[in-house]
Amino acid sequence: MDIRAIDLSATAGRSRLHGAAAGAKLASFALALTAIVVQHNVLVVAAVGLGIAALAVASRLPSRMVFGLAAYPGIFAAVFAFAAAPDPLTGSLFVAKAVGAALCAVVLVCTTPYPQVFAPVQRIVPEVVGDAMLMTYRSLFILAEKLDRLRVAVRLRSGLGRRHPLLAARATAAALGGLVLYALDLSQREYDIMRLRGYEGRLRITIPPSREPAFDAALVLGAAAVLAVAVWFRLAGAGLTPYSWLPATLGLLALFAAVSWRVTRR
């Protein structure tokens, strides 16, 4: 996961979804996720996933990154499906749920700067947890960059060569150990800097006001409609299943329309 690319997308994106209020996006995320959780029909779950994919394409999110990140849990879900699913169809449902839910989360973090995503969580958890959460995300950038440099350094010292596996293992372990020491030193430095800046045990987050309240409302209503359809299909049980290809087709059409729109308005 390239955390820097995610953050760049969240902060530099100019789509309407990027400009929507964080609260509206979080509510929509929760509604869409609930739709995936309550639904056991693979075609309806696929429809929700396709709808979110259409939203990602229309918002001009970097496709390779977004769909790559969403597919990642699909690998683990496939292993779980292989190990535990009673039949291939249930297995495909597991994978569809994993990828659909991941797509929801990835679209959220790729369109919303992380302090705004964490702000609601920070309000309900103890202050040490909320603040550490913000520090974790910030530290991820530093450590990821440091790890990249360490990898280059190890490679330059033939640490990752196949001819000398023992040397490679030692160099890699030293690099990881160095990263741990660097991280701990960094935490001490950060603590000193935070104290100098007046940190008193609570990082404050200011959430900017919404740019388009109408779009926010439409987003939440759309997600609520998706959940309503999912619940309807669930309550109707087997009665609606012959028609479950309809939402999937709608999702496919939405994705097709989003791709066409993105290609024509380049």
Partner 1 sequence: MSHIHIPDGVLPPWLWGLGLVVALTAVWIAATVAKRADVSRKVPLLGIVSALVLVSMSSEIVPIAYHINLTVVAGVLLGPWLGIIAAFIVEVVLALLGHGGVTVIGLNTLMVGSEMVIGWALFRLGVRVLGRRRVRVVTVVVTIVTLAITTTALVGIVALAGGGGAATRETGALDPASLRFQNPFGGGVFSLNALRGEAPALSGHAATELSVKRFAAVVYTLGPIGWVIEALIQAAVLGYVARVRPTLVFGGALSRRPSPLPVHAEVD
Q: Which of residues 1-40 bind partner 1 (CB under 8 A)?
A: 1, 3, 6, 33, 36-40
Site for partner 1 in 229-258 (CB under 8 A): 233, 236-246
**Least distance from C-beta 231 to partner 1, angstroms?**
13
Q: Taking every pair of C-alpha atoms in the chain, what is the biggest distance, in angstroms? A: 65
Judged by CB under 8 A, the residue of 127, 256, 257, 260 near partner 1 is 127
Q: Is 55 among the residues that bind partner 1 (CB under 8 A)? A: no
Q: Which is nearer to partner 1, 121 or 261 (CB)?
A: 121
Cα–Cα nearest to 95, from 107, 105, 82: 82
Among the residue ranges 13-21, 183-191, 219-227, 258-266, the one whose residues contact partner 1 (CB under 8 A): 183-191
Nearer to partner 1, 80 or 215 (CB): 80
Measure the CA–CA gap between 54 and 40, rounded to whole angstroms: 22
Which among 31, 17, 14, 49 has a CA at the least distance from the CA of 248? 49
214 touches partner 1 (CB under 8 A) = no
Between 228 and 260, whose beta carbon lies closer to partner 1? 228
d(CA 70, CA 105): 8
Q: How many residues bind partner 1 (CB under 8 A)?
A: 103
Q: How far is the CB of 92 from partner 1 (least distance, A)?
A: 10
Which of 31, 44, 57, 219 touches partner 1 by CB under 8 A? 44
Q: How far apart are CA 63 and CA 79, in angstroms?
A: 25
Phi, psi (degrees; rounded to nearest 5) at 153: -60, -45
- Strands (E) across 41-108 are located at none
Rounded distance between C-alpha atoms, residue 28 and residue 21, angstroms:
11
Please identify which residue in 53, 56, 69, 154 interacts with partner 1, judged by CB under 8 A.
69
Question: Is residue 21 left, alpha or beta, with left meaning phi > 0 and alpha meaning psi from -120 to 50?
Answer: beta
Shortest Å distance, C-beta 224 to partner 1: 18
- Decide: is 87 part of the binding site for partner 1 (CB under 8 A): yes
